[in-house]
Structure 1
Amino acid sequence: MKNSIFDRLFNSIIFRIGSMMFLISAISILSMFSSVFISEMADQDALIINHAGSLRKQSYKILANIELLPQISSSSLVKQQQKTKQAIIEFGEKVNAPMMEGNSGALDQMPLKETLDGIRQTWVTKLKPELDLLVEQPQQLTEDKLISINNIIENFVLRLDSLVGLYQQRAENRILLIRMILGISLMVTIFLVVFTMHQISRRIEKPLSELTSSARKIMSGDYTAKTNIQQNDELGLLAETMNKMSIALSQSYGQLENRVAQKTKKLRQTNDTLELLYQTSQLINEPGDSLNLQPITEKLAQITEKKDLDLCLTANNSNQPYEHIITLNKDLPGKCQVGDCEGCLSNNNGVSTSNNQMVMRYPIIKDNINYGVLVCNLDAETPLEAWQHQLFTSITTLIANGLHIRQQNEQSRRITLLNERNVIARELHDSLAQALSYLKFQVSRLQKLRKKSASEEQIEDVVVELKTGLDSAYMQLRELLTTFRLKIDVSGLQQTFLETIQQLNERANGLMEFTLDYQIQNLPLTPNEEIHLMQIAREATQNALKHSKATIVTLSVFADEEKNIHMEITDNGIGIGDDPEKLNHYGLAIIQERSQHLAGDIAIRNLATGGTLVELIFQPAFIKSAATVA
């Protein structure tokens, strides 16, 4: 066991350093415990000194109270006697307090105990009885008696001073002992630290420097670096291990370079693949009618290292391509020259092999609609790798999605255009067409009157009717042009409402006041919702301007707790009749149709206080989408 400890001491750095640290820690802990023990003994020394010192003040206080007894009136004598007795009692309690004895087993206790016992004995047997007698019989306080009691108290205070000095000496002895213990501990600790640092420098720092130098050489690529450390400890083992490691690294470095090159190639392929997919996605989502896939096809051939690619794009389920993109300068096969594309398009998901040539076909299909095919021509001996096959599939899927989205957008634009044309046709029919029919009727009437040689008054009435009809038609034309030119620019729906209100106030010439209360600034609406909402508001406010005879018209747009949109147009006019359709049938028809496009509810009614209310309530698209997701 003893030999084992010595072996570890001389052959283990950790054990040596640990032993030194243990000794330093043990000495530090021992000195701290000793200091704590002595400090605990002196815990109440300051309090005891303060307590003993206060006895001197209390002695003089009692003497002063006694000297006042013969000098005060009889009415205050009893009170002064009680005060003096209370001071004597408090003095006795302080002299006999347990803290005056100090800690049990304290240093220099015997002289202090003898002095304390002498003071207590003097107080009990001599001083206290004398003081009690003088308090009870103040008439005995003659001048000689006062001088005598004064001398007794001064001698007593001198003994108290001696007691305080003993308490102070005891505290100073304890502090001196703490200093001596800490000084010895400091000297021993310094010696151990110096010895430990010498061992660290000789057995650790120098070997570590050599190991660090060797490690840096290895890190810079010099795998022949070795160390010459001859120690039977951990650093010696580490040096031997590092020498073996450098040999192993030299052997495996070549293998690692090959693996890194392979990984780098794969990462480059992955990065190029992601970049191509991103570019393809960006290209097919760009606005415009034309779609140039030539750069995408060429980059696809470059990344996959398959130079011979053919991309054929066809119309919906057509058997003839409208665009044929090739990546290799070659003569087209005979079937391509004569336009025989049925084989590729009908068998566009297959693989064919002939004359050591393999043909891979990737369909461009979305929702059973064939948009073409991507053909890859390669050697039969070098088939496609998995990542190449996946890239071809992803590219064709993106192209199919892009072409499908473009087709859907085009179809949506066509439907929107047809709907707007229907609206224009209906509004023209309900306004200008009827006005022109009325004018045509008046012209026929004028012709008949002229044939009958009617009077000038009759002809003048028809001319007035014609002029009134022309003015009405011209006004309706201006309103239709304003409606057709309606647009909502980047400033938003609220600004468009403000401009509309401003135009209405200008047209009213001060006879009517139009106001706006817009509270849906934070709610997102689709462009169609904004257009329909604006058209309904325009038709309702124009009807109010023409027919309501009101002075105030308020347009309010707000949302309820469920975020349904409310639009209210109120006025203080004459209201509407029992059959509002007769007032402005094409305007109300437009309002009804717009509200149906919004899937909302429209209500037109008279208010109890007078005037008309046009109220629209609909649920915006973003609420419907959230409900669908939930």
Structure 2
Amino acid sequence: MIVKQSVSSTLARAFLYIVLVSLLSTGLALVTLSSSLSDAQAVNIAGSLRMQSYRMGYDLQANPAMLPEHQKKYTASLNSPVFHALNRWYVPANVRERYAQIHAAWGEMQQQLQAGNQTWYQQNIANYVGNINEFVFALQQYAEKKVMLVAVFAALGFMTILLVIFFTLERIRLHVVSPLESLVVASKKIQEGVFHIPPLHTDLPNELGMLSRSFTAMTNELHKFYRSLEEKVSEKTQDLQQANRMLEVLYNCSQAMNTSSMDPLSFRHILQIIRQHEHVECIEMLVGENWSIREGSEVPDGNWQTIPVTMQDTVFGQLRWQAEPNTPPAQMMQSVSNMLGRGLFFNQAKKHYQQLLLMEERATIARELHDSLAQVLSYLRIQMALLNRSIPQENPMARQIIEDFSKALNDAYRQLRELLSTFRLTLQQADLSAALQEMIEPLRAQTPAQIHLDCRMPTQALDAQQQVHLLQLVREAVLNAIKHANASEISVSCISSPDGGHAVYVRDNGRGIQSLDEPAGHYGLNIMHERAQRLGGKLAISCPVTGGTLVSLSFSTDTGSASGAAAS
């Protein structure tokens, strides 16, 4: 960047102007004074001309012998070199005219003196001397004018120097002091972090103008950097706040999952935490097609954001919510989804483990019954057969008693075998629908009837104990239909309602149940009623008008645990 007019050159020019004005005024004064050096001599010589004029009049009258010599001196005085300098252009015209008049009159006066015309001389000497007086006065005025001219030159030089100094100081104030003050004020504002500074003197052609332009550019760059840093700090602060909020939410969610049992209340608590800490209108977890937990009210025509709920490679369902775009953070929601997936996996695994414990316990009871009671009943059956052979045919009463006893013993043995079959029920699935399918599959081989399964009851609504009771109750109902209904179709339906109520229906198209009173020695219906009571529900057996038999079970779980269940 080129400086057109530097401060140093401006000051140098100002000092040069002052020196030049001083030299000019001093030179003019000196020249004027030098021209005045012979003014006194000219006045003296001009004044002596008056005396010499009167002396030549006296010589003409009383001392004629001295007249030539005095004429010669007068002529020398009148033609003195001092008077020759009066012929220059700068000498006033009246001085030159007076001198020319005297010089011209002297020629006539000299002729009359040489002629000895005393009378004429006496008559004209007064006028001649008067001309000399006027010439002397003109010389005096000319000398005074030169003195005045010296004073004028000195005054003009002084005033000019003062003006140059004033304009120089004013220029320094405008081009140096004021820009420096603006720069100082701007520096203080920038020091305080304020970058909106007053306009600087960027139009100046000197170093301060260049400095102001550079300072303005630097201020703009600093403002950009400062604003960029503020934005970055703000972004980092928001990121840290968001990360802190995410950590807090995830910590609370992990605390909600850190329970002995992962039930629907735990999952609902996690959704409540998300909705409480984030701006979420509605959040819902869907598991399969039959179970959901929702927090908040759905916004009509609102957009849903959805991510899958997974554990490893298993997809349990999906988590969806209604909120502003990119809210809550996708990373946090993915973590929550993974957490819910682990919770569902843990819930399923724990339920499966509890089922296995129950199955193991029942298998142990079955083994004990088989090794004890079943052996005794088998032994009694053998002994009864031997007894029946040893009694003669002629004793009908004894044979009738033995026959009745054998029949009761066979019924007891059959009931024991059914009980053992029930106790030996094994399941490899924790999912209710899969467990029902696994339980029904072996029964299909025992009947030509078509067995249909429609399970819309969420697995999470039941604990392991309830699920086992439900499975055994459905198995007993299906077995009864296979054995007694002579049906071609058997349908099993399990449904749930949003209020936590559940219903199970086992329907066949057979001949229908003849009596609700269970025959002596049979305990299947009683066991089914007991299982219904353990589920906290009610079992009903009826004959629909369309035919067949309908076994219905209605029960409910805790409303808080299953309020999210939905039936199709």
TM-score w.r.t. the length of structure 1 is 0.32
Which structure has more RCO (C-alpha within 8 Å, separation ≥ 6)? 2
TM-score w.r.t. the length of structure 2 is 0.35
Larger of the two Rg values belongs to structure: 2
